[in-house]
Amino acid sequence: MKTISKLLFLIFLSIMSCAIFSAITEKEIQDNEATYRDNCIQISKKYPTPEYYRSKNPDGSYFVYDSQPELSMGMHQIDEICAEQLNQAGIKFVRLTLYWDIMVNDPITYTNIWHDYERIFEKYNLIPLVVVHKNPSNFNFENKEEAYKAFADFMFDMVSEFKSIRYWQLWNEMDVYATDIFGAQKIPLEEIGKNYVKMLKLTYPKIKEANPDAIVILGPPIHPEFIENVYKAGGKDYFDIVSMHTYDFPIRWAFIQRGLQARSYMNKYGDANKPLWNTEFGLEAGRYWDTFGKIPDSDPLGFFDRAQRDQIGECVSINSILGLYNKIFIYAYIGEPEARKKEISERVTFAEGDSIQNYGFSVVREDRSPRPSLVWIIDNQPNKKNKPSRKVKVKIGKINKEVTLFTDYPTRVK
């Protein structure tokens, strides 16, 4: 009965979406929605949400993670205004970027900024996931081996310095761009995966040495195939959590399909017990333009406000039912438009108080007032149903015991 209810709910959402997004051809809608429904059915049958996830530590112990799906938020910097709004929304996991090149070039200022962030995390009971990327200018693809060694040492220093931060994500969309030290846009995806694993094998032990309680998240790719390449290159034992990024219009198509692909690769290489996180999903006006070649003629700002609210809300609802991802991070609290800024600016007559910035990924406007997507989260409190702790029977090899799990951090089991 539970599975039937899930599928009826998903089919209802699909029918509603067909009515709303009728600007593309009817056949395209039917093809995409058929694939979407099929993927949802596969997830509900083949990948049901387990009681817990687990990853093995170098000392032989296990991290056991609570499996309740949780909504989280991505951002590039944080202040008390942001923290207060996240508290109102019931969101406690936040994803921020620590830039390697900035820390090298201005270590005193940047270190102080991050210690200020730590104080905000503690004051507002927020849990940071820190993604580290952007190599200094003296490193590139030609001296990549030196870069991997330097990055491993750098991560040892960062994890040692910021002891209160336990979740560390290594690089960002490195299969496509953001850096060339792994070979993005230079060599085949499989070779990029091999280089990334070389970095992992140097960096993972350094992180665990600096803080045995640290948790390493795989750098999020755009292409799910990159995850298979990491496994094929022998990277399985050098990260604790798998991650993905998913963008599309409507959002749910990539959200479901790429997550299912990622889970399939994890299952194929005997790693299905680890958590899978989606550390970026969201919507900007440029995505709509790329799909339809224009933006709506009537009330474009209102259209995108509603589209962002409805599509983010749909993904949150789907994930709460299917449990495809353990954590999902909206991109972003503040996120500028990344595509079609020129075209949108030429087509839109901005009303007073409006600007191109309000057509980006942000869930708040320039004055920090919430857009409808953030209002929806505050009103609906999607994380409220989660129990902050619960007892679960854990069976791993010879381990067979009742363990208390928490949504904040994994429980170590020996």
Residue 170: CB atoms within 10 A of its CB come to 25
Instruction: Quote the pLDDT of residue 336.
Output: 83
297-to-294, 304, 372 alpha-carbon distances in Å: 9, 12, 20
Q: How many other C-beta atoms are found inside a 10 Å radius of the C-beta of residue 260?
A: 19
pTM strictly above 0.75? yes
Q: List the chain residues with pLDDT less than 50.
A: 1, 4, 8, 11-12, 14-22
User: What is the Rg, in whole angstroms, of the alpha carbon atoms belonging to the chain?
Assistant: 21
Q: What is the pLDDT of residue 5?
A: 52
Q: Which CATH architecture has domain 69-386?
A: Alpha-Beta Barrel (3.20)
What is the residue extent of each domain of the chain? 1-46, 69-386
Please give the Cα distance from 265 to 252 (Å, whole number): 20
Q: Return all residues near 381 (Cβ < 8 A) that are at least 6 apart.
A: 89, 90
Residue 400 buriedness (CB in 10 A; 0-12 / 13-18 / 19+):
exposed
- Backbone torsions φ then ψ of 391, nearest 5 degrees: -95, 135
